[in-house]
Amino acid sequence: MSKPTISQLVGAAPMAFSMEHGSALLGLSLPDEALGAGFAQAGSGDSVIIERGERFAISRGVAVVPVRGMLTPNFFALEKWFGWSTYHGLEETMAELHSHDDVDAVVLEIDTPGGFVLGLEAASTAIARLAAIKPVHALVNPMAASAGYWIASQATDIAMTPGSVVGSIGVAAYSSSSVKPDMYGNKWFDMPSSHAAAKRPDPATDKGRAEIMRDIDAIEVDFHAAVAAGRGIPLSDLAQRLTVTDDVADGGAVYRGPDALERGLADTIETRAAFYERIFSVYAPAPRKSAKAFAAKAAAALAISQT
């Protein structure tokens, strides 16, 4: 018997996910047991070791939080086996770091093509809430796509390693419609009750497509609002910044390096080592300050990167 795959867990849920970059993750089989031990998460001689399944580690006043893999609401088995982040886990981590006396700043090291929409807004709100108290620096290494960028956009600032990509801002839903009998000669039908047609919208019909679009367009509205607020971009300008043509419908692409900076989706491009050297130079070993001074620290960190 073949092992179940990640895609079988996902089903037809709406996704803020870049298929171009993440389709291989969906084809992974669930392992029989947990994978190996820890991995280094910060560099520049200030190694922070995060054991597989742990959500963060602290070094010299800086908490490093990995945001990686396909993002799910609460698939804690994938967090344990693969080290993939969950929205519930991120929300709990932000709450813990909010009141952690040994943490002056937080780094989100991001490597994800995105994931589920369900649970995403709560996690991103938790990051924004923490960023209002302590600086949260996002390091895209090498990808913050779709839901991953929604998360990144709530940080105080965003750095990209050379060659990294950000964007894929939008939502997709995958649905099917029966067109012929299966291998056993059976043709399957979805039959919702009389007042629940929206439970099983048929993408082969105009009415079904309209219902699917209603749902994913509503999510996109929230996505754009979050990015605009997090990045300080006027909401009325965002769609034009994201398009690859003159038509605002042609958004959803990923952007590299200078293109991402020009569109306002990131602040700096620097190597991972340079990023951590800059962060640790600002937050350690300087004497600890109150959370009220976080804005000055964050501005200093960004100013150093731009000199």
Q: Which domain holds residue 54?
A: 13-18+38-174+206-299
Confidence band of 301 (pLDDT split at 50, 70, 90) = confident
Per mean pLDDT, which range of 29-33, 162-166, 202-206, 239-243 is the poorest? Answer: 29-33
Q: Average pLDDT, stretch 53-58?
A: 88
Beta bridge partners of 112: 144
CB atoms near residue 172 (< 10 Å): 18
Is 225 contained in some domain? yes
Q: Which two tokens stand for residue 31?
A: 């392992």
Does residue 186 lie in a domain region? no
Residue 258 in domain:
yes
Is residue 23 domain-resident? no
**Has residue 286 got a pLDDT over 60?**
no
Model pLDDT, residue 37? 39
Confidence of residue 204 (pLDDT cuts 50, 70, 90): confident
In a domain, 195, yes or no: no
Backbone angles phi, psi at 172, to 5 degrees: -135, 150
- pLDDT of 154-192, one tens digit each? 999 999 999 999 999 999 887 777 777 777 888 777 788
Rounded mean pLDDT of 208-214? 93
Span 234-253, pLDDT tens digits: 999 999 999 999 999 999 99
- Looking at residue 239, what is its pLDDT? 98
Integer Cα distance of 151 and 115 in angstroms: 11
CB–CB of 65/55 below 8 Å? yes
Q: Say if 70 falls within a structural domain.
A: yes
Q: Which residues of 176-194 are buried (b: 16+ CB within 10 A; e: fewer)?
A: eeeeeeeeeeeeeeeeeee
Neighbour-count burial for 208-228, b at 16+ CB within 10 Å, e otherwise: beebbeebbeebbeebbebbb
pLDDT above 80 for 104: yes
Contact 48, 210 (CB under 8 A): no
Residue 85 confidence (pLDDT): 96
- Where are the alpha helices (H) located in 73-166, listed in sequence order? 76-82, 87-98, 120-131, 147-152
Question: Does residue 55 sit within a domain?
Answer: yes
Model confidence pLDDT, tens digit, residues 259-268: 999 999 999 9
Residue 184 lies in a domain: no
Q: Is the pLDDT of residue 7 over 90?
A: no
What pTM value is reported for the model? 0.80
Alpha-carbon distance of 262 to 258, in angstroms, equals 6
State the CATH number of the domain containing residue 280: 3.90.226.10
Domains identified in the chain, total number = 1
Q: What average pLDDT does this structure show over 291-307? A: 69
CA distances from 196 to 191, 215, 255 (A): 9, 15, 40
